């Protein structure tokens, strides 16, 4: 009988050891789950902060867009269909000069303190650096002509977009002609 009680006692001890190790495992899991839950809660808080920052940035961008829209008055486009910029040139044609004189007269008649952004554009023929220079030359030709007609230089700025902002495909003659243009933006 002593053998049976030893076996029984050994079995009870083994069951107790397994039960105790199971409890330790549950405690270990609970501890690790608590750490993970805390990290998830912290990360959720950071995401909420980022989400609010994103909403704030979007509101600022929308406000800036509305402000910019409020300053835009109108624009005039000088392109090949009305002005005939030469393929590799910036010289103003007589048609361009006539349109610009009419435009200057409108500006004077409106009698507003306006600011002009003169944008030069090209088609995609030629290297990028040449197109940037050509766009600048076209915009500058318009700026200087308008200054000769009485528009103050400090109210005009030029920028070249080269071939970077086409309004038509550059794969045909008509599209390239539309892309050779100067846009005058009038802002209050």
* Residue whose entry in the numeric block shows the structure tokens 């609970």: 30
Closest CA to 160 of 186, 180, 187, 188: 180
Tokens of 43: 């990360």
Q: What's the mean per-residue pLDDT of the chain? A: 78
Domain residue ranges in the chain: 72-187
pLDDT at 49: 74
pLDDT at 18: 58
> Residue 72: which residues within 8 A CB-CB, separation 6 or more?
185, 186, 187
Residues of the chain with pLDDT under 70: 1-24, 50, 57-70, 72, 78-87, 111
What CA–CA distance (Å, rounded) separates 167 from 180? 10
pLDDT in tens, 131-157: 999 999 999 999 999 999 999 988 899
DSSP string, 21-76: HHHHHHHHHHHHHHHHHHHHHHHHHHHHHHHHHHHHHHHHHHHHHHHHHHHEEEEE
CB-based contact 83:94 (threshold 8 Å)? no
| Domain 72-187 of CATH type 3.30.1330.60 | yes
């Amino acid at each position: 009988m002593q053998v049976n009680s030893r076996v029984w006692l050994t079995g009870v001890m083994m069951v107790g050891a397994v039960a105790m190790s199971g409890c330790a495992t549950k405690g270990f899991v609970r501890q690790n789950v608590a750490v993970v839950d805390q990290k998830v809660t912290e990360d959720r808080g950071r995401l909420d902060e980022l989400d609010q920052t994103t909403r704030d940035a979007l509101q600022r961008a929308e406000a800036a867009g509305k402000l910019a829209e409020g300053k835009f008055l109108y624009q005039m486009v000088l392109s090949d269909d009305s002005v005939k910029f030469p393929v590799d040139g910036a010289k103003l044609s007589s048609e361009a000069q006539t349109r610009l004189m009419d435009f200057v007269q409108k500006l004077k008649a409106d009698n507003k303190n306006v600011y002009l952004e003169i944008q030069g554009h090209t088609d995609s023929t030629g290297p990028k650096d040449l197109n940037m220079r050509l766009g600048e030359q076209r915009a500058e030709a318009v700026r200087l002509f308008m200054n000769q007609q009485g528009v103050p230089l400090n109210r005009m700025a030029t920028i070249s977009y080269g071939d970077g902002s086409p309004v038509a495909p550059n794969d045909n003659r008509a599209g390239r002609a539309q892309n050779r243009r100067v846009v005058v933006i009038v802002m209050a």
